[in-house]
Structure 1
């Protein structure tokens, strides 16, 4: 307890100095985005995003009792001056891990996979090449608690990304573990590289075909695809990276979808309609119900807000190496939620 005015004044001074020091090291663009008055509408907020330096944005909202809401701002293609399109395809990056986790859940329920089996069981050729392979279970990989090094953390990875399972795996083979299995958490794309391989082997065909049959088709998600090779590239929103001169949409980075398709999937994931009997309990024990994604040129966010019964999906088509745009996106996402909550 502070017992005198002088002590109180000292504490307040220290807090003020600490705040000023912290603000000094925070880019002023982030501070500006945080302190600006909240707009009355989501459309105004989307247009404000362009003023912050993003080239384009798509927002999709599925709120109970209301028709779907779509908002866009900026460019679908900056060079051709094509405005952003609500139904554009977008590289959803790590949001795809939600689909992978659902696919694993369904295979576990069917008895084709076991959460307790290890890398040694499923990929015995990696024993001695991945540390602790005998103790890293499928469940630990899903939950990012394996300790395996992350292949996308390899030096200059994004300047020349790998194009195959073998190339990606080679970046971490024979590397020491970051921690003992189950002892810590570290987000790691290698986990899902291996999970996809395990699913392919168990199925005898591409796990994305299984995702199409068991997830996409039942939900009528006809605008979700496994790769660029499956789509008309003109339908893909352009992606830009600060200080990089070229459009990045032709770079292959896995799944693409419209914001509406992602929103429909996320609603079904959270309300349980995606699952057959017994599956929802398995899923809830292994993974989360929201996700974000990042690859050069593309930032994506998908979240269900229980208090307003709304799914919100935000796509931003501009990234940067220092992740200022990522932090800025999270500020904007929170402002969109606040506007929607205020309107409710």
Structure 2
């Protein structure tokens, strides 16, 4: 009877799973990465880019679908892309470098850095820089504001105003909850500490040493025609013109540049002496990104010594596109691994 109940329960649960996800998951694995991208386009993505850097092999570039759907411009594997929250990896590296140089302290509180916010952010006298980097501050996420993406504020201050004087989500360091507000505030702390924009610091200390000449801190720095278009299901307009300026996710880069950075992050070559130990104690070595019209996955796979970056330019409200992107990514990694084992 237990076995029958489990079977019935499993069958019932499938009724609530979109069949497009089931199809993407169970279909036979293609022989090549390019075939997998083509399959993903058939599942509804407008465009997709994949970059593979496996040790001992030349880097691989793949693309399918549209760079610009309206003008029928094919996807370009070397196009610029809004990498969204992958930006946080670069900000966290900057924090580690400045802590190592004794310009920042992970144990100083938000109130120490910004006394003027002490009465406007709950527990600011207990929230440390370390907690903000690790998303353990309890500060509400400004992008969770109802209707946020319908008309997002144009400035960091406008975004911050959405959560000022709001109760905390939890007491400091008691839970983990992802909050873009943490990195908005970290960016402000960096600027105040440096006396100039942290974007300049990231360029000088991270991008230039790695020859990342196709990575930018802001959309305003690039030729917009080189940016892959972004689309939202049910909305016709191209979203690439929407500018997200917050340090939590403002960067624009090619898949190759993200891959080179991620390799350097994981092998430690982005760090000077003492910095990697600090970084390892505060943040992760991979990330995903999500903005309207833009989804990205950046991970290093130790067992095959490969960095795999995936960009796709179609998002939706219900999250099906994100799930499809994750399925496609896992299948790309399987193809790379199978090829490596053969």
**Same-fold call, TM cutoff 0.5:** yes
The alignment covers a number of residue pairs equal to: 335
**1:31 CA drift (Å):** 0.6
Write out aligned runs for 1:1-344 (5 A): 10-253=1-244, 254-344=250-340
Task: Spell out, residue by residue over 1:42-67, the C-alpha distance to the aligned partner (whole angstroms, 9 max, x if none).
Answer: 00000001100000000000000100
**1:226 CA drift (Å):** 1.2
Gaps of 5+ in 1: 1-9
State TM-score, norm by structure 1.
Answer: 0.97
**1:153 CA drift (Å):** 0.4
Task: Spell out, residue by residue over 1:257-304, the C-alpha distance to the aligned partner (whole angstroms, 9 max, x if none).
Answer: 000000000000000000000000000000000000000000000000
Gaps of 5+ in 2: 245-249
Counterpart CA distance in 1 for 2:327 and 2:6 is 23
Counterpart CA distance in 2 for 1:18 and 1:328 is 24
SS, match of residue 183 in structure 2:
helix
Deviates more, 1:314-323 or 1:15-24: 15-24
Counterpart CA distance in 1 for 2:90 and 2:4 is 50
SS, match of residue 249 in structure 1:
helix
State TM-score, norm by structure 2.
Answer: 0.97
Counterpart CA distance in 2 for 1:277 and 1:54 is 43
SS, match of residue 74 in structure 1:
strand
4+ residue segments displaced more than 3 Å: none
